[in-house]
Amino acid sequence: MASLSPQPRKLPADEEPADPKTALLTPPVPSPSSPSSPSPSRFLFAFLLVTTCISLAISSAFAFLLLTSNSKPVKEVARSLSKLPHPVVILISSDGFRFGYQFKTSTPNIHRLIRNGTEAETGLIPVFPTLTFPNHYSIVTGLYPTYHGIINNRFTDPVTGEVFTMQSHESKWWLGEPLWETVVNQGKKAATFFWPGSEVKKGKWSCPDKYCQHYNGSVPFEERVDTVLGYFDLPSNEMPVFITLYFEDPDHQGHQVGPDDPEITNAVAHIDSLIGRLISGLEKRGVFEDVTVILLGDHGMVGTCDKKLIYLEDLSPWIEIESEWVQSTTPVLAITPPSNVSLAEVVSKMNEGLSSGKIEHGNYLKMFLKEDLPTRLHYAASYRIPPIIGLLQEGYKVELKRSDNKECGGAHGYDNTNFSMRTIFIAHGPQFGKGRKVKSFENVQIYNVIASILKLKGAANNGSESFADNILLES
Ligand SMILES: *[C@@H]1O[C@H](CO)[C@@H](O)[C@H](O)[C@H]1NC(C)=O
Ligand SMILES: *[C@@H]1O[C@H](CO)[C@@H](O)[C@H](O)[C@H]1NC(C)=O
Ligand SMILES: *[C@@H]1O[C@H](CO)[C@@H](O)[C@H](O)[C@H]1NC(C)=O
Ligand SMILES: *[C@@H]1O[C@H](CO)[C@@H](O)[C@H](O)[C@H]1NC(C)=O
Ligand SMILES: *[C@@H]1O[C@H](CO)[C@@H](O)[C@H](O)[C@H]1NC(C)=O
Ligand SMILES: [Zn+2]
């Protein structure tokens, strides 16, 4: 269970919004209640209008050719704000929005952002483990889970024995400096309509009632969008410069039915309609071109089935794994044996069994001492990470022993190099190039990008110094 939502959500029943492309192609139909009598002067006027338009179009086309043929293409630069007094960033997360879902059905609103914005062409790379809480908090801190402390959705502090859950809001768990804290520490306003960690009081961030919503998965998505829109009606000194918006879907459906079910298609269409609702609300206020909208997800999703299970009880000829040692099973197998048991021996005996050819699907799981994990995973340097970690191939699951549970669904948490774990990054706003594609990047880069748009001094983090300059247009 990696969804934030404890309650089952009802399925979206919204109508699909009209595709603006087809709307443009459809000629307006004269309404029968307003008859128009054609007269010769009207025809002449229309004729002159059409010919003027055609000649204008031809001359501007020639002018364009002349201007572009012997000079370099005009470099796109950041556009200045026309209405807002200061830059505003809305950071939207659609949980479990696997890269590629945007092509499952018609998503005219998401594609509007893509066409006039900047997109990670092959998706956004999550951090390991590709789980909801670690990734959301990496997005807003720029830190790998090792350094921001949320190393899993649920874990035990090995020193105090205390358990972190998705309901833990004490600041001792949440290290690093999230964006809302960076914003308020520097005298500006931030607002959160849900985000893991947003209810935690840190620095000058006190999660004030006016700007910080306490998590409640039953709040309709439409209400979340409308509340965010309401911030743009505030006087400019009360208007937040940074706003988060969170949707539990399509992760919620993905866990139940896997990534290839029509339920996912419906959930994606619903998310698209919410993006449409946000865009039209911003347009109504005349601020859509001024606001920076960043639409992303935390991780992808892959289908899982009971045919891809590995049972730890099968290892007993090599080593007996006690259930109390096991901190988590799928997709990150994390083991903390008691102190009188050799860690290296547990790893080697488990791997001996798994690679023996005698354990069903054994080759799809490999055990490591955490310090021996591939360094690209950045999953060692925290005392909170259990000493033994097993990496599973995507789609496989681990269970302690056989049971009658027979079900197929979806999961995430696997190696972040796997494409199935990738999600989307789409950014639209004055500092993002129109129709621009960039290479995939890790979500720890996003903190610096938002800090740069908001002209804030960012805290130390794991994003690179140059990334923001490369993805943002020159001011
Ligand atoms: C894209 O931006 C241009 C202005 O640069 C605007 O005319 C056009 O309507 C926008 N397209 C969409 C789909 O928003
Ligand atoms: C959660 O939201 C629902 C829908 O808005 C509301 O009916 C319910 O009272 C809320 N629960 C809490 C604990 O605030
Ligand atoms: C470790 O200690 C426990 C009791 O604390 C004991 O039951 C167990 O046999 C010991 N294991 C080894 C390998 O010595
Ligand atoms: C997932 O990533 C691991 C590590 O890079 C790799 O060995 C494996 O082949 C990948 N699986 C797929 C299906 O791409
Ligand atoms: C990540 O950032 C933290 C905080 O600045 C730093 O302590 C750590 O060394 C960084 N790790 C990597 C791998 O860059
Ligand atoms: Zn998630």
- Type of residue numbered 239: M
Ligand nearest to the CA of 213: 2
- Whether residue 165 has its Cβ less than 6 Å from ligand 2: no
Q: In 3-state terms, what secondary structure has residue 88? A: coil
pLDDT at 465: 87
pLDDT digits (tens, 9 = 90+) for 330-381: 999 999 999 999 999 999 999 999 999 999 999 999 999 999 999 999 999 9
117 CA from centroid of ligand 1 (Å): 10
118 CA from centroid of ligand 1 (Å): 13
Average pLDDT value for residue range 156-165: 98
Identify the residue with better confidence: 11 or 7.
7
Identify the residue with better confidence: 25 or 433.
433
Cα distance between residue 327 and residue 408, in whole Å: 23
Residue tagged 């001492």 (tokens): 369
- Whether residue 462 has its Cβ less than 6 Å from ligand 5: yes
Identify the residue with better confidence: 391 or 34.
391
pLDDT band (50, 70, 90) for residue 69: very low
**Within-domain flag for 290:** yes
**Within-domain flag for 49:** no
381 has which bridge partners?
none
Same domain assignment for residues 318 and 273: no
**Within-domain flag for 8:** no
Ligand nearest to the CA of 465: 5
What total of structural domains would you count in the chain? 2
Largest CA distance in the chain: 100
Same domain assignment for residues 339 and 261: no
Same domain assignment for residues 140 and 282: yes
From 381, 405, 429, give the residue that closes a domain: 405
197 CA from centroid of ligand 6 (Å): 14
338 CA from centroid of ligand 3 (Å): 8
From 405, 434, 451, give the residue that closes a domain: 405
pLDDT band (50, 70, 90) for residue 405: confident
**C-alpha dist (Å) from residue 148 to 12, 166, 429, 461:** 35, 15, 28, 9
Where would I find the H helices in 77-178?
A: 108-115, 132-141, 145-148
**Within-domain flag for 38:** no
**Within-domain flag for 316:** yes
CB-based contacts of 407, cutoff 8 Å, min separation 6: 305, 306
* Candidate from 128, 147, 378 with most ligand 5 atoms within 8 A of CB, to mutate: 147
Identify the residue with better confidence: 39 or 368.
368
Same domain assignment for residues 114 and 243: yes
Same domain assignment for residues 393 and 435: no
Q: Which CATH number covers residue 379?
A: 3.30.1360.180
Range from 19-33, 42-56, 232-246 carrying the lowest mean pLDDT = 19-33
72 CA from centroid of ligand 5 (Å): 40
Among the atoms of ligand 5, which is closest to the Cα of residue 460?
Answer: 5
pLDDT digits (tens, 9 = 90+) for 90-115: 999 999 999 999 999 999 999 999 99
Ligand nearest to the CA of 462: 5
- Whether residue 186 has its Cβ less than 6 Å from ligand 4: no
Average pLDDT value for residue range 315-326: 98
Where would I find the H helices in 258-332?
A: 262-284
**pLDDT beyond 80 at 39:** no
- Whether residue 415 has its Cβ less than 6 Å from ligand 4: yes
| CA-closest residue to ligand 4 atom 12 | 418
Cα distance between residue 344 and residue 339, in whole Å: 12
pLDDT at 36: 40
Identify the residue with better confidence: 126 or 71.
126
- Whether residue 116 has its Cβ less than 6 Å from ligand 1: yes
Among the atoms of ligand 1, which is closest to the Cα of residue 115?
Answer: 13
* Candidate from 98, 394, 419 with most ligand 4 atoms within 8 A of CB, to mutate: 394
Same domain assignment for residues 275 and 370: no
Same domain assignment for residues 156 and 235: yes
Same domain assignment for residues 179 and 311: no
Average pLDDT value for residue range 213-237: 98
**pLDDT beyond 90 at 316:** yes
From 405, 435, 450, give the residue that closes a domain: 405
Same domain assignment for residues 101 and 249: yes
| CA-closest residue to ligand 2 atom 14 | 216
In this structure, the number of other CB atoms found within 10 A of the CB of residue 76 comes to 13
106 CA from centroid of ligand 1 (Å): 19
Same domain assignment for residues 289 and 161: yes
**pLDDT beyond 50 at 406:** yes
pLDDT at 77: 96
Same domain assignment for residues 166 and 215: yes
| CA-closest residue to ligand 4 atom 1 | 418
The mean of the pLDDT values for the chain is: 89
Q: Which CATH number covers residue 248?
A: 3.40.720.10
Same domain assignment for residues 278 and 400: no
**Within-domain flag for 82:** no
**pLDDT beyond 90 at 255:** yes
**Within-domain flag for 92:** yes
**Within-domain flag for 51:** no
pLDDT digits (tens, 9 = 90+) for 436-473: 999 999 999 999 999 999 999 999 999 998 999 999 99
- Whether residue 461 has its Cβ less than 6 Å from ligand 5: yes
335 has which bridge partners?
326, 388
pLDDT digits (tens, 9 = 90+) for 172-213: 999 999 999 999 999 999 999 999 999 999 999 999 999 999
- Whether residue 218 has its Cβ less than 6 Å from ligand 2: yes
pLDDT at 41: 53
231 CA from centroid of ligand 6 (Å): 26
Residue numbers annotated as active site: 132
- Domain range for 234 is 88-303+416-471
Cα angle: 57, vertex 62, 63; to 5 degrees: 95
Cα distance between residue 333 and residue 327, in whole Å: 8
pLDDT digits (tens, 9 = 90+) for 286-315: 999 999 999 999 999 999 988 899 999 999
